[in-house]
Amino acid sequence: MENERSVESGFADLGLRTELLKALSGLGYEEPTPIQREAIPHLVAGKDLLGQAATGTGKTAAFALPILQLLDADEDRPSPVALVLVPTRELAMQVSEAVYKYGHDLRARCVPIYGGQPIGRQIDALRRGCHVVVATPGRALDHIRKNTLELDGIAMVVLDEADEMLDMGFAEDLEAILEATPKDRQTVLFSATMPPRIDAIARRHQRNPVRVTIERSTTQAGTSPLVKQTAYLIPRHHKAAALGRILDIEAPEAAIVFCRTRGEVDQLTETLNGRGYRAEALHGGMDQEQRDRVMGRVRAGTADLLIATDVAARGLDIDHLTHVVNYDVPSAPESYVHRIGRVGRAGRAGVAITLAEPREQRQLQNIERLTKQKIPFEKVPSVDALRARQMELTTETMREALATDGLEHFESVLRELSGDFSVEQIALAAIKLAHNAEQSTMDEVEIPDLSQPREQRDRRDPRDRFDRSERNDRSSRFGRDERPDRGGRFERGGRGRGGPVMAKLYVGLGRKAGIRPQDLVGAIANESGISGRDIGDIKVSDQFSIVEVPGDDVENILRSMKHASIRGKKANIRRYRDER
């Protein structure tokens, strides 16, 4: 009853119907977040809205609840009243689940449609009828062209994470979708940032939109941040070993490790489990049942580490979380702020650790400018420091054992051994057994300390010097004045010089199949989990396309795209090598 009164005093003031208030009460919601408090009344009133709010601020409910306000629960075969456009299939599933939870008492039907899933199954679901469609832009446009997505009854269109959709090359698709929907629709646009392109869309497709901006709370002057932030500068091929060693030293109660791709999540989870941690993977390639099992183990404390992609970890709240690790530096500074905001809550201290490669230092500087905080570099713990820490942990383990009851059960073993060995020898053997059972006994190698001035590093580790020079070699990149072979032209700007080593992929679809650069960016980013910003130059010829991607992500992309389709067509994708 107390919770119901709290919900009524908070959400009821926003003009929501009784069924939604009951659902929110059942889910344990008490007070609306700032974005919900600001946006919901305007959306319920039918106004267009342009909202700036980062992930994790509660904006899904801010538009999902007003959508559900529009529903007629008595329809047997409803037509869609709302279309929600999102950048990735993981987010499509997350938003769809939220609509289902909030609209349970209204018997709300929501259909997520995205690439990588058989389009026939989606067509069947749409024919059975639904109230809400949550879609990635490319797949939504496919259904519109096939006349399988009814648009006549659409009263609201939501663009969620609009800046990310533009970065992934969906600008033309968004324009086409908005042109195809009813002119009198309500148009809602949410974005973490507000570049000029977002304003341009708002001017073309919104009518006197209400603007809502939710600023992130900042630490007050004169107070110390609850989150201790540190960074380590590490060559890529040493990152997994360095992370294991840092975690050994830190000994977190519970930690989330953020990775860029699904493949990286799976590989790192396997590596850390081999080191003796209880690590669980979480990414968009898992179904909801698998995700629930993983989160159950993490919340119950039977898993130490959660290795996850950004999108898969959205909306998660782990009470006993003590550490957040950025295995890669986030390309968007806002993502970094959202990640580390998961620790240091409710007055508890937390630790944020970032593993940066030399090429990622500029991204760290961007984060420092946004947060107005310096992120100090620390040296990766040495082998000697690791061994000393392991001895400390063994000492703690022995102290705890000596403080427990029941030691008398082992007196017979002590008497048996004391005839042949001294008590000191027996104690040392017991300590050794305890140490080997608790601590990693794998061989450790020294990891290059890139936080030192370069001339010192070069004197100390010539192998690392070779690695850096090889990484900066531009011979494997598309040069600015290099002409593409076999005709065609590059249709998208590449990465800046000095960036990561890039590789080329051959895609067996081209202009004659209706393929555009944004289709390739959207498909690769959506399936593999890499950011659209990380994809480089693209050349689309009549029969095929060539796409430049980060060399470290090639194998993950090839695996992810093995059964994927682009604009409904199966594509032959393989490594491409220049034939000169």
Per-residue confidence (pLDDT) for residue 547, from 0 to 100: 92
The CATH number of the structural domain formed by 476-575 is: 3.30.70.330
Secondary structure (H, E, C), 225-246: CCEEEEEEECCHHHHHHHHHHH
Write out the two tokens for 217.
């709370």
CB atoms within 10 A of CB 453: 8
How far is the C-alpha of 201 from the C-alpha of 165, rounded, in Å?
12
Global pTM? 0.54
CA distances (Å), origin 209, targets 198, 199, 402, 433, 579: 13, 11, 68, 68, 53
Task: Give the helix ranges, DSSP H, for 11-86.
Answer: 18-26, 34-44, 59-69
Secondary structure (H, E, C), 106-146: HCCCEEEECCCCCHHHHHHHHHHCCCEEEECHHHHHHHHHC
Of 374, 378, 362, give the one whose Cα is nearest residue 449: 378
The residues facing 503 across adjacent strands are 549
Secondary structure (H, E, C), 368-392: HHHHCCCCCECCCCCHHHHHHHHHH
pLDDT tens track, the chain, 580 positions: 444 444 444 788 898 999 999 988 887 777 888 899 999 999 999 999 999 886 667 889 999 999 999 998 777 788 999 999 998 877 888 899 899 999 988 999 999 998 878 889 999 999 999 999 999 999 999 999 999 999 999 999 999 989 888 878 889 999 999 999 999 999 999 988 888 889 899 999 999 999 999 865 444 333 335 789 999 998 888 888 899 889 988 888 889 999 988 888 988 998 888 877 889 999 877 877 787 788 888 888 888 899 988 766 665 667 778 999 999 988 777 778 878 877 866 556 789 999 998 888 888 888 888 888 899 999 888 777 777 777 877 787 788 888 888 888 888 888 888 888 898 888 888 888 877 766 654 545 667 767 654 444 444 443 333 333 333 333 333 333 333 333 333 444 344 434 567 889 999 998 888 888 888 888 888 777 777 777 888 888 888 899 999 888 888 888 888 878 888 788 889 998 754 3
Write out the two tokens for 104.
């349970």
- Pick left, alpha or beta for residue 288 (phi over 0 → left; psi -120 to 50 → alpha; otherwise beta): alpha
Which one is the CATH code of 2-213: 3.40.50.300, 3.30.300.180, 3.40.50.720, 3.40.50.1980?
A: 3.40.50.300
Task: For 215-230, write each residue's pLDDT tens digit.
Answer: 654 443 333 357 899 9
Write out the two tokens for 462.
């010539």
Task: For 158-191, write each residue's pLDDT tens digit.
Answer: 999 898 888 788 899 999 999 999 999 999 999 8
Q: Please name the amino acid found at residue 136.
A: T
Task: Give the helix ranges, DSSP H, for 48-195.
Answer: 59-69, 89-102, 119-128, 137-145, 162-167, 171-180
Q: What angle do CA 176, 177, 181 make, to 5 degrees?
A: 120
Of 58, 70, 51, 60, give the one whose Cα is nearest residue 93: 60
Pairing mode of beta strands 569-570, 565-566: antiparallel
Domain ranges of the chain: 2-213, 227-380, 476-575
Per-residue confidence (pLDDT) for residue 482, from 0 to 100: 32
Task: For 330-368, write each residue's pLDDT tens digit.
Answer: 877 777 887 887 786 655 678 999 999 888 888 888 888
Pairing mode of beta strands 545-550, 502-507: antiparallel
CB atoms within 10 A of CB 276: 16
2-213 and 476-575: identical CATH topology: no
How far is the C-alpha of 317 from the C-alpha of 335, rounded, in Å?
16
Topology annotation, domain 227-380: Rossmann fold (3.40.50)
* Angle formed by the axes of helices 18-26 and 2-10, nearest 10°: 130
